[in-house]
Amino acid sequence: MILETRQLSKTYQVGQEEIHALRGVDFQADSGDFTVINGPSGSGKTTFLNLIACIDRPTSGEVMIEGQSTNQLSESHLAELRKHKIGLVFQTFNLIPVLSAYENVEYPLLLLGLNRAERRKRVMGLLEEVGLKDLARRRPDELSGGQRQRIAIARALVTEPKIVLADEPSANLDSETGKQVMGIMRHLNQDHHVAFIVVTHDPVVTQYAQRIVKIRDGQLSEENSRGASTKNPAA
Ligand SMILES: Nc1ncnc2c1ncn2[C@@H]1O[C@H](COP(=O)(O)OP(=O)(O)OP(=O)(O)O)[C@@H](O)[C@H]1O
Ligand SMILES: [Mg+2]
């Protein structure tokens, strides 16, 4: 199992008020999975992604990556783990404006210390896979929304992560472009055998799921999976 959460909970404190953003979530994902987590605004989607990306820490429960609990890891260990094992795709693309498409995709590889030839091979390979090899020299502001998101997807995969997490990847795209981007993600998921977990409230995105999980008020329920019918029986 590449990713597993056990009774994962997150409570935010705002003044006197406690907000239970996640309430005991059990979730599992395997290497080739393409899971879409579907839920309305405020249901806990981003909170969940931030926890499994090891960007934020749970209030209780744990995140296991490749069978290893992350609770005891130091900040620097978590940073290493993110760098090597996790790729992120955001709603707003988060590209670096002064860098070209090529340089944006290359950036995580500089952090990994790969040599120039290896970097070039990986970057050009992924730009080709997302259909943007010819636009490698353009800056983000010289690209369309869909093209920017494809660059962000190439950047998420270039480190050869085990898990790719996407938060509302179609939110800033029209539905045709959203479909195109999802098609590319699904393709990459199959080719690279990486676990994709996409959170969204967009039905267009959900069409591309191999497995759909619903989130409501910080609790998950499985809609159609190959294995168990429901997880997380109500507490
Ligand atoms: N930093 C925070 N401090 C306090 N409360 C927060 C914080 N982040 C999120 N929340 C609350 O936790 C709950 C879940 O928020 P979250 O951002 O995970 O929802 P979401 O499903 O991603 O929503 P959206 O679809 O609008 O992005 C909401 O009630 C939200 O107000
Ligand atoms: Mg969100």
Residue nearest atom 2 in ligand 1 by C-alpha distance:
12
Distance CA 230, CA 8 (A): 17
Strands 34-38 and 17-29: unpaired
Distance CA 34, CA 66 (A): 17
Is ligand 1 within 6 A of the CB of residue 176? no
Atom of ligand 1 nearest to the CA of 40: 25
- CATH fold of 3-12+23-224, please? Rossmann fold (3.40.50)
Is ligand 1 within 6 A of the CB of residue 44? yes
Is ligand 1 within 6 A of the CB of residue 11? no
Å from CA of 167 to ligand 2 middle = 7
Distance CA 8, CA 27 (A): 9
Asked whether the predicted pLDDT for residue 227 surpasses 80, the reply is no
| pLDDT, mean of residues 61-80 | 96
Confidence class of residue 226 from pLDDT cuts 50, 70 and 90? very low
Structural domain spans, the chain: 3-12+23-224
Residues with Cβ–ion distance below 5 A, ligand 2 = 45-46
Atom of ligand 1 nearest to the CA of 218: 14
Distance CA 115, CA 120 (A): 9
Helices (H), 13-74: 45-52
| pLDDT, mean of residues 140-169 | 95
Confidence class of residue 19 from pLDDT cuts 50, 70 and 90? very high
Burial profile 116-127: b = 16 or more Cβ within 10 angstroms, e = fewer: eeebeebbeebb
Asked whether the predicted pLDDT for residue 228 surpasses 90, the reply is no
| pLDDT, mean of residues 49-74 | 96
